[in-house]
Amino acid sequence: MLKLFRSKILIALVLILGVILMGTLGYRYVSDYSWIDALYMTVITISTVGFMEVRPLGAEAKIFTIILITCSVFILGYALSVISEYILSKNTLQLLKKKKVKTKIQQLEGHVIVCGYGRNGMQAVDRLKAYNRDFIVIERDEEIIRKHEKDFLFVEGDATEDDILFEAGVDKASFLIVALPEDADNLFIAITARQLNPDIFIISRASQAGTQKKLLLAGANKVIMPDKIGGDHMASLVVLPDLITFMDKLSVEGENTTNLEEVAIEDFVGELNTHTLRDLDLRKKTGCTIIGYIDPNGDYIINPEADLPLQPKGKVIVLGRPEQINKLNTMFHIN
């Protein structure tokens, strides 16, 4: 549709230039005007501003002027209609596009909201896409939205405003990732989101150590300091280079390339007589190794004993090659 409008606008411009050229040549040779006077007469004629002629027109010049005015009226009318149609259609397309996005957002539930599509927000989105999670990005930069709006859902606006959070479905979302560059904005969003949805899990970015405690008090469940993590990682590469490189190899990029998986105990119920980790025997059946256990209270046990009793709402962390993880997911129908 845009190509059609562009071709129409191009035709309108060509016709306008053609009328100006015709008028200039006509006055130059019919009335023997100079080139400047001929152009001047053409412009005041087709624009109908009502200025006086350079000099009185003869009969032939008057007839030519009538023809020029008639042509220019139709051509300028056509040009105005094309431009008006383009503007109205563009606005209509934008409205339809926003309505379509709004409809999709209303259909989501349990999704993830990412506030800010900067460096950290972009990394979060890439990981969510790899795991096929439903998410919405709140961004106020129109250029960024235009560049990526075909890839995923955007809500244009300031994430610190209640209406924008509601538009992104904060009342139905399960997670909120706050990745704005300013700690004050992240703090305000955390407070607002916690009030709008007491059950939402909030993960916030922080730049200053002092802000970390404030964000936790404001309602954030987890606070990430990218600069601190980056510095620790670089120092660890000096102290324990092989171990850190090995940890980096534990890819969690996507469903088909992951080496680590988090599995709820409920996923094993009905498939096996599961009372302890030994009963699962995942190593024999899938090749995966259980390297951690999370009890219902959220306590983490690293390298748990084989006789550790399993509890409802607990989770196990398993390690394996991608094909072993896929075998585990297939065997127990884990999504």
**What distance separates the 2 farthest-apart alpha carbons in the chain?**
112
Q: What is the pLDDT of residue 16?
A: 82
Enumerate the CATH 3.40.50.720 domain ranges in the chain, comma separated: 109-231
- Which residue, among 224, 142, 144, has the nearest Cα to 178 in the 3D structure? 224
Contact 175, 112 (CB under 8 A): yes
Which of 87-91, 116-120, 214-218, 264-268 is predicted with the least confidence, judged by mean pLDDT? 87-91
Q: What is the pTM of this model?
A: 0.62
Give the full edge-to-edge strand order of the sheet including 153-156: 153-156, 135-139, 112-115, 175-178, 201-205, 222-224
Mean pLDDT of 282-294: 90
Q: What is the pLDDT of residue 195?
A: 93
Residue 149 burial (CB < 10 Å; 0-12/13-18/19+)? middle
Query: CA 255 to CA 128: how far, in whole Å?
Result: 11
89 DSSP assignment: H
Task: Provide the angle, in degrees to the nearest 10, between the axes of the packed helices 209-218 and 183-196.
Answer: 10
- Quickly count helices (H) and strands (E) in the chain: 13, 10
Enumerate the CATH 3.30.70.1450 domain ranges in the chain, comma separated: 254-331
Is 6's pLDDT higher than 80?
A: no
Q: Tell me the percentage of the chain whose pLDDT exceeds 70.
A: 89
Enumerate the CATH 1.10.287.70 domain ranges in the chain, comma separated: 2-102
Mean pLDDT of 290-318: 89
Query: CA 53 to CA 48: how far, in whole Å?
Result: 12
Residue-wise pLDDT for 47-79, tens only, equals: 777 677 777 777 887 888 788 888 888 888 888
Is 95's pLDDT higher than 70?
A: no
Q: Is 332 helix (H, G, I), strand (E, B) or coil?
A: coil
CATH label, 254-331, candidates 3.40.605.10, 3.40.190.10, 3.30.70.1450, 3.30.499.10: 3.30.70.1450
Query: CA 208 to CA 13: how far, in whole Å?
Result: 56
Task: Look at the block and give the residue holding tokens 């071709």.
Answer: 7
Is 288's pLDDT higher than 70?
A: yes
Strand 153-156 to 135-139 pairing: parallel
The residues near 140 (Cβ < 8 Å, ≥ 6 apart) are 156, 157, 158, 159
Tokens found for residue 121? 């927000």
Single-letter amino acid, residue 98: K
Tell me the fold of 109-231.
Answer: Rossmann fold (3.40.50)
Single-letter amino acid, residue 32: D
Stronger pLDDT, 237 or 206, i.e. the higher one: 206
Tell me the fold of 2-102.
Answer: Helix Hairpins (1.10.287)
Q: What is the pLDDT of residue 25?
A: 87
Q: What is the pLDDT of residue 129?
A: 87
